[in-house]
Amino acid sequence: MGEDAVPGHIAPVVLASSIRVKPVSNSASVPVDTITILVVDDSRAQRAVVSGNLKKWGFSVREAATGLEALDVCKTERIDLVLCDWMMPEMDGLEFCTAFRKLKREHYGYFILLTSKSDKSDVAAGLDRGADDFLSKPVDSLELRARLNAGLRLLDMESHLIMQNQRTENALTELQQLYESVDKDLIEAAKLQDSLMPVRDRKLPNGRVSLHMKSACRVGGDLVGFFRYSDERIGLYSIDVCGHGVCSALLAARLAGYMNGHSKSQNVAFERMPDGSYRHRSPEEVATVLNEQLMEEIDTELYFTLAFADINLTTGRVFLTQAGHPNPAVLDSQGEVTYHGGGGLPIGLIEGAVFERIEFGLNDGDRLMLYTDGITECENPEGTVLGEEGLAGLMSKHAYEKGPALLDNLFSDLSLFAGKPEMDDDISAIMFEYRSARILPDLFTVAGSDA
């Protein structure tokens, strides 16, 4: 209806100001006074009637006589809901709806077309162009308020989603900050853990020790090392705490203290006698003491596996205990690999567990390697596990390499086998190469040691 209509002729509209409209409760939680509704109609009288009732209901109202004027309003103000007549000159309701949907808006705008059209094809066309709802003319006040409530519920849901997204975004920002802080701490923790393995290569009388360790995370639960029993004997150990990460790393650090190479009084491999002297504990006794301490002194559900060897540097004799750890491997000078051991129980699972001793000898040029199951349980992209046979093949391949070079190349081949540089589990190994003639100077002196 144009503005040149008969003055006061508002018969098509039931919202005359003379009719008392009973307010309809707002089923949405959004306050109506925060909602701005744009009424678009080329009839001033129609706009006045609709706007008057909207204001009575508490809404903030803007008016526009044309679609182009309405677009200008939408570009400068936040419009939450639009009530737009379908038939208008210059730009009809469908054209304005299309242009409205193309505007860059931070919030959704609910669009209701006012029309006397009832054909299904017209309704479909309106929905295709972006209309949310329709209101037939003449407009009924109860139906109008019901349609508005439907729009408010949608706007209410959008508001809640926006707040939820903002909370989620804030939480993610906080988590990112926490992650960066934790990651920074883990980097420092990794440095401290590396310090538990102060040397990677040490030449000894009648032998050489090489170590390699790589965690799946920043820090891990693997631990390898050695210490001096006496001038002619060394203790060699490989530990794998279940799981990986901070908890496993903390227990590994605690265990490193139990294998302290600087003090007999703190090393579980030594027992202090009544006269103040120290007795060497056998490998199986060491495992027993560690099991007792983990069960009784440390309140944790973690457990670990262990391979511990007492090696005589003069004779090459090895006394070894295995507590749930992979079978120790011996690589001879000809490239043949022999495995020793039979499994045993992990430490920290069963109170009073019994551990057995394994004895064997090393010949000149033999290399004894203790390692964690991250190596033998490594899988290639096809899901095939490396296993003992695969490890023996890698060791034989590098049989003529010495010291840390052998371990470095073995671990490089392991990455190639896995098809990726990072492993799914912590991996570590310690290797002792035996030389029967005393051709190397004794460099294995620990400063400050009371051993």
Q: What is the CATH number of the domain that holds 41?
A: 3.40.50.2300
Same domain, 369 and 225: yes
Over its C-alpha atoms, the chain yields an Rg (Å, rounded) of 40
Question: Which of 117, 149, 164 is the C-terminal boundary of a domain?
Answer: 164
**What is the CATH number for 297?**
3.60.40.10
* The predicted structure's pLDDT at residue 6: 34
Average pLDDT, the chain: 83
Same domain, 155 and 265: no
Same domain, 239 and 143: no
Same domain, 158 and 200: no
* The predicted structure's pLDDT at residue 406: 93
- Contact in structure between 155 and 111 (CB atoms under 8 Å): no
**3 falls within a domain:** no
Same domain, 264 and 387: yes
* The predicted structure's pLDDT at residue 161: 87
DSSP conformational letter for 416? H
Same domain, 207 and 329: yes
Question: Which of 141, 164, 187 is the C-terminal boundary of a domain?
Answer: 164
* The predicted structure's pLDDT at residue 437: 62
**390 falls within a domain:** yes
Same domain, 377 and 281: yes
* The predicted structure's pLDDT at residue 159: 83
Same domain, 217 and 154: no
Nearest-angstrom CA–CA distance, 391 and 393: 5
**49 falls within a domain:** yes
Other CB atoms within a 10 A radius of the CB of residue 70 amount to: 26
- Identify each DSSP E strand in 151-251 by its residue range: 201-204, 207-214, 222-228, 233-241
* The predicted structure's pLDDT at residue 403: 87
* The predicted structure's pLDDT at residue 27: 56
**361 falls within a domain:** yes
Nearest-angstrom CA–CA distance, 82 and 74: 10
Host domain of residue 143: 32-164
* The predicted structure's pLDDT at residue 198: 58
**304 falls within a domain:** yes
- Contact in structure between 329 and 338 (CB atoms under 8 Å): yes
- Contact in structure between 132 and 151 (CB atoms under 8 Å): yes
**451 falls within a domain:** no
Helical axes 246-258 vs 141-195, angle rounded to 10°: 20
Same domain, 253 and 369: yes
* The predicted structure's pLDDT at residue 185: 59
- Structural domains counted in the chain: 2
Same domain, 324 and 428: yes
Same domain, 103 and 234: no
Point out the residues of the chain with pLDDT beneath 70.
1-30, 118, 179, 182-198, 216-220, 244-245, 437-451
Same domain, 294 and 358: yes
Question: Which of 107, 142, 164 is the C-terminal boundary of a domain?
Answer: 164
**99 falls within a domain:** yes
* The predicted structure's pLDDT at residue 11: 34
**244 falls within a domain:** yes
Nearest-angstrom CA–CA distance, 128 and 81: 18
Nearest-angstrom CA–CA distance, 145 and 348: 71
The DSSP element (H or E) to which 115 belongs, if any, is strand 110-115
